[in-house]
Structure formats: structure tokens, C-alpha cells
Amino acid sequence: MQLHRLKGYIQNIYLIEYEHGCMLLDGGCRADFDIVSDYFRTTLKRPLTDLKVVMVTHMHPDHAGCAHYLREKTGCLVVSGVFEHHWYEGLSGRFSHLTDILLTHWVAGRLGRKRRLIWYPRKLRADVQLQDGQPVPGFEQWSIVATPGHTHMDISIYSEKHELIYVADLIVSNKKQLTPPYPVHFPNIYRESVAKLKAFEGFKILMAHVEPQTISTQVLDDIMVQTPKVGQSNKQAIFNIAKKHLGFGFDSQKS
């Protein structure tokens, strides 16, 4: 097994390579297609059709944005955890989908990236939905663990054999300190998800926006303490950005 880390549009892209095929640990941005296809051609020296599975940990643009397009181009399986309702369901879901795309463009601008096409379907059409602990089809050394809180459907993907776990946005970094992501929609569930990582002590933790590293149980406890008591939302994120960078003097809690 070879673990590859690619520099994506705004996030780390983790690619697992075996002789029999490859798996992406998340669906990336729509803008990441060229990055992935070029990596297969120039670095792996393999056809893109050797991509057999794309995992989707949750529905944000940098995690699900390229999944459907990769399936269209390669015939790969799109695999997620079990979910009953789409994250971007209904009118409020349409608003959140648009907001998350705008926030992704904002982050890309902050990182000095050129504006790229990142539009993607707001409803995931997964080929396979896995229950907690089930192995990934064709990559049975890897299984999933449900780690919701950031959204309702977040999963992490781990390999006991290789002592690796990919947690996507479960943990991020602010001023070089590991923290909860923003927003945390479901704080109580989020804390339970972080606590699950204690069962993976000693594993190298792969994160979408932070360098891979091992994380002590003390740091996990610190992250749980930092978790907000009240659920956050995209609306608050937009208002906070506007207040910080545009000088608007309104209170998002009253709007």
C-alpha cells in the first residue's frame, strides 16, 4: 500500500494506491479533477480508470464536489456512510449549498488560488452506503467510523493494519492549534465523535486542512472543551466574515 498526499484546490487529497487499484479518501472539489488525473498520468503512471473507489465523508464542496464527475469519467464506486436525508435538502438546503460554494471560493481567494469551477450536485448519489465498522468494497483493509457533528453524515476512514485514520474536517487548525471546524452544527454529537478518536491512539491522523500527525488524548480533550455549546450555522459564518472584512456592524444572532 502506498499513501499519496496531493495539494488540492483548498484541501489535502489523500490517495491510497494498491496494485489492484486506487481509492480516494474524499471526493475533493470539482476543480481537483485535473490535479487527480494529472497525478495518475505523470506520477503513478497508471490510467485514471485504476481509480476504483471515491469516498465521500460529507457533502461540503471540497469533500464531495468531484465525486460524481470522477465516477462519470472512471466508472468508480462512490461510497459514503449511511444517511437518511440529504444534507442540502429543501429550500434551506439550497441556500446552504450555495453558501458553502461561496465560502469555498472565499477560502480559495485567501489561499491565493485562481477562481475555478466548483459547482456540483447538492444531492449525493452514492453507490454504496456503509454502516459503522463495515469495510470499503475492494479495499477491505479500510473501514469507516461515523463521526458526525460538523454535519449530520460525517465519516472517518481507517486502517488498523496501517494505523492510519482520515478524519476529513473533524479537526482543523487555527493559529497552529488544533481546533473544532467551523461550523459545528451539532456540538454534543461532535464531542462524541472526537472522543471516538481515543480508540485510535497512536494512529497517524490524516486531516483535510492540517498536516498528518499523531494526536494525544489530552489534545482531543482540549478540542472537546473548545467545542461550542450551541450549534453554529452557515448564516453565522457569512455574517462573521462580513463583520471581520467588510466592517458591517450587525449582530448575526439577531438577524
Comparing C-alpha atoms, which of 157, 21, 29, 129 is closest to residue 76?
21
Q: What is the pLDDT of residues 49-106, one digit of tens each?
A: 999 999 999 999 999 999 999 999 999 999 999 999 999 999 999 999 999 999 999 9
Helices (H) and strands (E) in the chain, counts: 7, 13
165 by DSSP, 3-state: which?
Answer: strand
Q: Which of 192, 143, 197, 139 is nearest to 167 (CA)?
A: 197
DSSP letter for each residue of 47-92: -GGGEEEEE-SSSSHHHHTTHHHHHHHH-PEEEEE--SS-TT-HHH
Percent of the chain whose predicted confidence (pLDDT) is above 70: 91
In contact, 150 and 194? CB cutoff 8 Å: no
pLDDT on residue 232: 82
State the cell numbers at 254.
439577531
Phi and psi of 7, rounded to 5°?
-90, 105
Q: What integer pLDDT is reported at residue 251 of this predicted model? A: 41
Q: What is the pTM of this model?
A: 0.92
Q: Answer for the pair 12, 209: CB distance below 8 angstroms, yes or no.
A: yes
Is there a contact between 183 and 167 (Cβ–Cβ < 8 Å)?
no
Condensed to tens digits (0 to 9), the pLDDT of residues 136-172 reads 999 999 999 999 999 999 999 999 999 999 999 999 9
In the prediction, which pLDDT does 183 show? 92
pLDDT digits (tens, 9 = 90+) for 187-212: 999 999 999 999 999 999 999 999 99
Containing 143, the helix (H) or strand (E) segment is: strand 139-146
In the prediction, which pLDDT does 255 show? 33
Of the pLDDT bands very low, low, confident and very high (cuts 50, 70, 90), residue 233 is confident
Q: According to the 3-state scheme, what is the secondary structure of 15-36?
A: EEEECCEEEECCCCCHHHHHHH
Choose among 86, 95, 33, 85: nearest CA to 59: 86
Pairing between strand 139-146 and 12-18?
A: unpaired
